[in-house]
Structure 1
Amino acid sequence: MTRPRTALSCCVLVLVAAGCGIRPTGVTDGGTAPSGIPTGMRVYFASGTGLRGVPRPGIKVDDFNVAYKLLLNGPTAQERADGLTNLVSDEQRQSVTSHRGNVTIDARHYSADFPQDQSTGQLVCTFARAEVLIHGTRPDQVQVTLIGRDGRAGPYQCQQFLSR
């Protein structure tokens, strides 16, 4: 019985002496911790895999017209190379109003035939993000309704278009 114990003790000592082979290093900086909900304006564009929000840093959004212009500008060359496209055109004039997190997009060009397509998602998500920045509404409390030639569609939340 003492031989097995001796052998086991030797094995443990050898393993402890050998270590794991990784040499100790100094403290390394992991960078800034993720902050959760992104800040700043995001504009949403269509892709083959669904809607994607892209940041527009340094742009102050103080009314919905700024968000609409950012959307109309479309994706950058790099974003287009990454497969993003804009399904909202300049001919699709609209006015946007909000009251306590309820955003209404008056878009007479809009057809409710395909209410949850990516172009609708672009409008809903971009203007929902603008509502958060303009009025400080919590993102999960923004509701967006579209008024089009076929009547009303919605209310929608951006998450409905991102979770497919």
Structure 2
Amino acid sequence: MKRFLGLFAIVLLAAGCGVRPSGVIPGEAAPSGPAVGSVGNTATVYFVLDGKLAPVSRTGVSDVYADRVRVLEQGPNEDERASGYTTELPPTFEPIAIGISEAAIGVNVRELTPNAVSQLVCTIVAAGGGGPSRTVVLSGGGQTLQPQGCGG
């Protein structure tokens, strides 16, 4: 009898858990496309070609600002170098903190060439950075530059 009452109590509890049957509940369409921050996007980064700033499209780079700046840190790839692309960023510039409107790097920003500054700023702005003013404040080596826009 105890077994019967125990089993009856379990069945009674399971049946009364409060979940009521319903029909099919329609939902929205499933999301599509790459997620924000995903790898596989085409990213625009800036290198130097014939002494002038030049955009380069790269695939397989996420749309996170810091990831795009890391592409600059790596420099032009073999094909880009063969086509004449270079960088004016020092090999040790090391991105430290890259945000929407600020970028801290591991070298004195006052020692960067105008093209090197533009490489960083334009790459961040091309990724959607720069905030409403579309400018970026660069800092590094204990120095900070005034807000810079792409191209100036």
Name the TM tier (shorter chain). 0.5 to 0.7
- Residues 137, 112 of structure 1: CA spacing in aligned structure 2 closer, same or farther, 3 A cutoff? closer
- Residues 80, 153 of structure 1: CA spacing in aligned structure 2 closer, same or farther, 3 A cutoff? same
**SS in structure 2 of the partner of residue 75 of structure 1:** coil
Shift of 1:69: 2.1
Matched to 1:80, the amino acid is R
Residue deviations 1:121-144 (CA, integer Å, cap 9, x gap): 1111111112x1xx7967xx4111
State percent identity of aligned pairs: 24
- Correspondence 1:121 to 2:118: yes
- The partner residue of 2:145 within 144, 153, 156 is 153
Partners of 1:81 and 1:65 lie apart in 2 by: 26
TM-score where L is the length of structure 2: 0.60
Matched to 2:109, the amino acid is S
Shift of 1:90: 5.0
- Residues 78, 158 of structure 1: CA spacing in aligned structure 2 closer, same or farther, 3 A cutoff? same
Partners of 1:136 and 1:157 lie apart in 2 by: 8
**SS in structure 1 of the partner of residue 110 of structure 2:** coil
Partners of 1:44 and 1:81 lie apart in 2 by: 16
Name structure 1 gaps, 5 residues minimum.
1-38
Write out aligned runs for 1:89-128 (5 A).
Answer: 89=90, 91-93=92-94, 94-98=96-100, 103-113=101-111, 117-128=114-125
Residue deviations 1:81-130 (CA, integer Å, cap 9, x gap): 221112334522221122xxxx111124123155x621111111111112
- The partner residue of 1:50 within 49, 52, 70 is 52
- Correspondence 1:77 to 2:69: no
Kept in 2: contact 1:112–1:150 (CA 8 A): no
Write out aligned runs for 1:51-70 (5 A).
Answer: 51-61=53-63, 63-70=64-71
Q: 1:30 aligns to what?
A: none
Matched to 1:125, the amino acid is C
Name structure 2 gaps, 5 residues minimum.
1-40
Tell me the number of residue pairs that the alignment of Structure 1 and Structure 2 aligns.
111
Write out aligned runs for 1:6-45 (5 A).
Answer: 40-45=42-47
Alignment root-mean-square deviation, CA: 2.7
TM-score where L is the length of structure 1: 0.56
Q: 1:5 aligns to what?
A: none
**Relative contact order (alpha carbons < 8 A, sep ≥ 6): 1 or 2 greater?**
1
Matched to 1:123, the amino acid is L
- Correspondence 1:143 to 2:143: no
Question: Whose helix fraction is larger, Structure 1's or Structure 2's?
Answer: 1
